[in-house]
């Protein structure tokens, strides 16, 4: 393996900027590019960089807008992504559709720092994910449980995030996914080898990765929270549940004061165990994202079901 | 719930030499790891392993002339935690993020003061924070500590896909015949070493310190071979010479542009603790 972020010691080195296993990592904020208002993408990215984000996601629309507008959601315009790369000095991520390896080839060709193979976009393949070992650029993928996380790592994902329910401003699904992964890791950690073989079959995970996870008592790569985080308290909740960092998108850009909220969430991720400081940064942030109740008939449906 | 990873991990080295429980002479060495963002957990893991290794225990015991030493590592997010430290490691991560969080956490000025008396090691983003000038800061500039006289370029090799690993010969490490695997992830490049005069002019003048004190010389600890350097033209032979430098020391401070914390190899941590931290701690203990 030539990519440092994919190789390495017992704990895979985290991609820089997203770094730190068992380490807090300030939020990754999508840069929103608006169809109407010229170059809002670079503007959003600069808000994120100035707030202390360690990376930004280049997107035409935040998930809340994708949900509201419907239709097929695809990889962003490479020119828009390149403008964001030029506007900031922190790493830039971009999303590709599940299974769409040519979108990934395009992003690698323009020198993007990380690729998110994301259920927020409309899947291009209803059976296969991208073989991420074929790429030098590191990938992040969503997971709802341990089996799904280890399948993605087996395909070459360099780090994992909860799926949550993107664009809802509702943290309940991200909590569900993080708790599911943790509970399954705790079960695996108490198993002997025979039981691990059976458990690997049950959850559809490669045995060697399950065994390594049981030994480490955590995923062998970093694990971020994503999908529905809207407040500093949400971010700290996910960190206290064991996440290594947080992605925030709609929760910032659909709030009253994105710059202030982004900065508060960055601080909450670092000081997640300090309630006094969390109280300070949570003050006077203006209106939070309104948010949605999670249900099968909500606008845009459940995105977390995408991916296999 | 996450197991609290921020606990203090201490190792008593003195228990073999002071079995009667005489802790009055025990010297506590606290290595802080700045835990605002980045690879701090990995640094702490390596320090834990280093502190209990037999080669480290015997080498530090010899250096301290048998004085009992207790090595501890702690994560640092507050001024109170910083004040406990004998030395600090600033990990890899995003330098803009770490700098902003230093300021928002009211740590920037205490850290400036800390650097005047105690050693700091910066890896990757941490190296940028220790530098005096940043060649390509984010828009609007970014704050640095100005403690090592180098001009440094962020992401000097380019984006993530230009990240690489390389074996390096480092004569100053333990077992120098064994190459060290350098992990360079969006790594910075030292573009020039600032001479004493320009460094002195640009460094902030500490309170109560004479401005005539010149900075200590720069000691090169590791270089990359020519063929791995970023392909860009240099203004001068000196600058070309500087670009191959990936680890250097100036006085009590140390920087590496790569990530020793992302390997299983503890030799750079061993170097920092034994060569930068221990002399500083022993000198302060005797003064």
Query: Which residues of B fall within a CB distance of 8 Å from A20?
Result: 37-42, 91, 93
- The per-residue pLDDT for A227 is 95
Is A3 within 8 Å of chain B by CB?
yes
- Per the annotation, the verdict on B259 as an active-site residue is yes
CB contact set of A288 (below 8 Å; sequence gap of 6+): A169, A230, A231, A251, A255, A256, A261
The answer to whether A31 touches A45, Cβ cutoff 8 Å, is: yes
**Sign of the torsion formed by the C-alpha atoms of A108, A112, A117 and A120:** negative
List phi, psi (to 5°) of B249.
-130, 140
CA distance, residue B150 to nearest chain A CA (Å): 20
List phi, psi (to 5°) of B268.
-70, -35
Choose, out of B89, B97, B103, the residue to mutate when testing the contact with A (most A CBs < 10 Å): B97
Residue of A90, A138, A271 lying closest to B96 (CB–CB): A90
Q: Name which of A21, A23, A56, A24 is nearest A41 in CA terms.
A: A56
- The per-residue pLDDT for A291 is 87
Q: How many Cα atoms within 13 Å fall on the side-chain side of residue B50? A: 28
The answer to whether A143 touches A201, Cβ cutoff 8 Å, is: no
Q: Name which of A23, A17, A13, A32 is nearest A239 in CA terms.
A: A23
The answer to whether B17 touches B66, Cβ cutoff 8 Å, is: yes
Is B213 within 8 Å of chain A by CB?
no
- The per-residue pLDDT for B241 is 82
Render the burial of A45-65: b for 16+ CB within 10 Å, e for the rest: bbbbbbbbbbbbbbbbbbbbb
Q: In what order do the strands lie in the sheet with B218-223?
A: B9-12, B69-76, B27-34, B87-90, B120-123, B253-256, B245-250, B218-223
d(CA A182, CA A241): 8
Residue of A11, A46, A54 lying closest to B139 (CB–CB): A46
Choose, out of A52, A115, A218, A219, the residue to mutate when testing the contact with B (most B CBs < 10 Å): A52
pLDDT, tens digit, for every residue of A19-38? 333 233 444 544 443 333 33
Q: Is the pLDDT of residue A166 over 70?
A: yes
pLDDT, tens digit, for every residue of A208-259? 999 999 999 999 999 999 999 999 999 999 999 999 999 998 889 899 999 9
End-to-end CA distance of chain A: 26
The overall average pLDDT reported for chain A is 87
% of residues, chain A, pLDDT over 70:
87
DSSP B19-71: TT---TT-EEEEEEEE-SSSSHHHHHHHHHHHHT-HHHHHHHHHHTTT--EEE
Q: Is the pLDDT of residue A192 over 70?
A: yes
The answer to whether A161 touches A150, Cβ cutoff 8 Å, is: no
pTM of the model: 0.86
What is the predicted ipTM? Answer: 0.84
Query: Which residues of A fall within a CB distance of 8 Å from B39?
Result: 13-14, 19-21, 23
Neighbours of A39 (CB within 10 A): 14
From the candidates A36, A82, A95, A211, which is the catalytic residue?
A95
E-assigned strands of chain A?
A: 28-32, 55-59, 92-97, 114-118, 139-143, 159-162, 222-225, 245-246
Q: Is the pLDDT of residue A8 over 90?
A: no
Q: Which residues pair with B219 in a beta bridge?
A: B249
d(CA B92, CA B41): 11
Chain A residue whose CA is closest to B260: A13
CB contact set of A290 (below 8 Å; sequence gap of 6+): A169, A254
The answer to whether B36 touches B81, Cβ cutoff 8 Å, is: no
- The per-residue pLDDT for B207 is 47
Residues 125-154 of A with CB under 8 A from B: 136-138
- The per-residue pLDDT for B3 is 40
- The per-residue pLDDT for B230 is 83
A–B interface: beta-carbon pairs under 8 A: 163
The answer to whether A97 touches A121, Cβ cutoff 8 Å, is: yes
CA dihedral A250, A254, A260, A263 (to 10 degrees): 0
> To which H or E segment does residue A152 belong?
helix A146-154
- The per-residue pLDDT for A245 is 96
Query: Which residues of A fall within a CB distance of 8 Å from B161?
Result: 3, 108, 111, 113, 136-137
With an 8 Å Cβ cutoff, are A52 and B1 in contact?
Answer: no
Is B49 within 8 Å of chain A by CB?
no
Q: Name which of B211, B201, B137, B51 is nearest A88 in CA terms.
A: B137
Residues 84-123 of B with CB under 8 A from A: 91-94, 96-97, 100-101, 104-105
Is B156 within 8 Å of chain A by CB?
no
Residues 183-242 of A with CB under 8 A from B: 239-242
With an 8 Å Cβ cutoff, are A138 and B136 in contact?
Answer: no
The answer to whether B14 touches B68, Cβ cutoff 8 Å, is: yes
* Residue segments in chain B with a per-residue pLDDT below the cut of 70: 1-24, 196-213, 232-235, 287
With an 8 Å Cβ cutoff, are A89 and B101 in contact?
Answer: no
CA distance, residue A190 to nearest chain B CA (Å): 16
> To which H or E segment does residue B254 belong?
strand B253-256
d(CA B1, CA A258): 30
For residues A162-170, average pLDDT: 93
């Amino acid at each position: 393996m030539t990519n440092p972020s994919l190789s390495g010691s017992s704990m895979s080195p985290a991609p820089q900027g997203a770094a730190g296993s068992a380490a807090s990592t300030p939020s990754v904020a999508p840069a929103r590019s608006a169809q109407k208002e010229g170059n809002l993408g670079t503007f959003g990215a600069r808000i994120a960089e100035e707030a202390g984000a360690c990376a930004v996601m280049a997107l035409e629309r935040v998930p809340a807008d994708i949900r509201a507008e419907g239709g097929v959601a695809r990889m962003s315009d490479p020119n828009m992504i390149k403008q964001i790369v030029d506007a900031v000095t922190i790493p830039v991520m971009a999303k590709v559709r599940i299974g769409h390896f040519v979108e990934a080839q395009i992003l690698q060709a323009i020198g993007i720092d990380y690729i998110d193979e994301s259920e927020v976009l409309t899947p291009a393949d209803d059976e296969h994910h991208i073989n991420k070992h074929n790429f030098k650029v590191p990938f992040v993928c969503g997971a709802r449980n341990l089996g799904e996380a280890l399948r993605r790592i087996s395909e070459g994902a360099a780090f994992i995030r909860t799926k949550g329910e993107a664009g809802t401003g509702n943290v309940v699904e991200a909590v569900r996914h993080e708790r599911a992964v943790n509970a399954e890791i705790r079960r695996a950690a108490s198993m002997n080898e025979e039981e691990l073989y059976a458990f690997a079959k049950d959850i559809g995970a490669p045995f060697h990765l399950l065994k390594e996870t049981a030994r480490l008592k955590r995923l062998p790569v970093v694990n971020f929270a994503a999908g529905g985080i809207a407040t500093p308290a949400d971010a700290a909740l996910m960190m206290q549940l064991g996440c290594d960092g947080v992605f925030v998108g709609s929760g910032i850009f659909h709030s009253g004061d994105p710059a202030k909220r982004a900065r508060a969430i960055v601080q909450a991720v670092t000081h997640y165990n300090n309630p006094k400081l969390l109280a300070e940064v949570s003050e006077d942030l203006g209106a939070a994202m309104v948010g949605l109740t999670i249900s099968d008939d909500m606008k845009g449906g459940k995105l977390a079901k995408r991916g296999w | 719930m996450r197991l609290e990873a921020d606990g203090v991990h201490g190792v008593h080295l003195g228990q073999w030499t002071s079995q009667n429980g005489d802790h009055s002479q025990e010297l506590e060495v606290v290595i802080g790891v700045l835990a605002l963002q980045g690879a701090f957990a990995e640094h702490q893991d390596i320090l834990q392993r280093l502190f209990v290794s037999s080669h480290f225990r015997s080498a530090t015991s010899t250096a301290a002339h048998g004085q009992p030493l207790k090595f501890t590592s702690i994560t640092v997010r507050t001024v109170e935690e910083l004040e406990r430290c004998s030395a600090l490691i600033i990990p890899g991560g995003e330098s803009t993020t770490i700098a902003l969080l230093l300021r928002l956490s009211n740590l920037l000025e205490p850290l400036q003061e800390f650097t005047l008396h105690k050693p700091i090691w910066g890896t990757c983003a941490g190296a940028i924070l220790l530098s005096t000038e940043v060649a390509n800061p984010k828009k609007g500039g970014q704050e640095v500590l100005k403690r090592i006289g180098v001009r440094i370029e962020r992401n000097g090799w380019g984006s993530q896909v230009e990240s690489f690993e390389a074996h390096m010969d480092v004569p100053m490490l333990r077992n120098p015949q064994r190459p060290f695997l350098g992990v360079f992830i969006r790594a910075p490049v030292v573009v020039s070493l600032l001479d004493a005069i320009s460094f002195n002019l640009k460094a902030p003048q500490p309170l109560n310190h004479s401005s005539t004190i010149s900075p200590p010389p720069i000691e090169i600890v590791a270089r990359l071979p020519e063929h791995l350097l970023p392909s860009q033209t240099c203004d001068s032979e000196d600058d070309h010479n500087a670009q191959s430098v990936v680890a250097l020391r100036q006085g009590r401070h140390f920087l590496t542009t790569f990530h020793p914390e992302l390997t299983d190899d503890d030799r750079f941590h061993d170097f920092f603790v034994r060569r930068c931290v221990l002399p500083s701690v022993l000198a302060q203990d005797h003064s």
